[in-house]
Structure 1
């Protein structure tokens, strides 16, 4: 649950909205509509991965 909440907050700070299912400890996201949106998502996930110990 903690990791899902951390990723949810991280992405929200970047303007990428995810749906947090706190009772399940999981997330849901929609598929990006454009190539630019995909790149933004990939970059944000890469940044998140680099910041995690």
Structure 2
């Protein structure tokens, strides 16, 4: 599960970096949404580790 989340994070960042066809406003909006999503993912991962400890 952890590996899947990390790979998803990498894929999202690569998509954002490589996508130059989107206009700037849409790209910024998408990046903010992805950052919120990735923050949520890392929060979930952190809470999982807390429960194991």
TM-score, normalised to structure 1, is: 0.46
Name the larger-Rg structure.
2
Q: Which has the higher helix share?
A: 2
Q: Which has the higher contact order (CA 8 A, sep 6+)?
A: 2
TM-score, normalised to structure 2, is: 0.46
Q: Which has the higher strand share?
A: 1
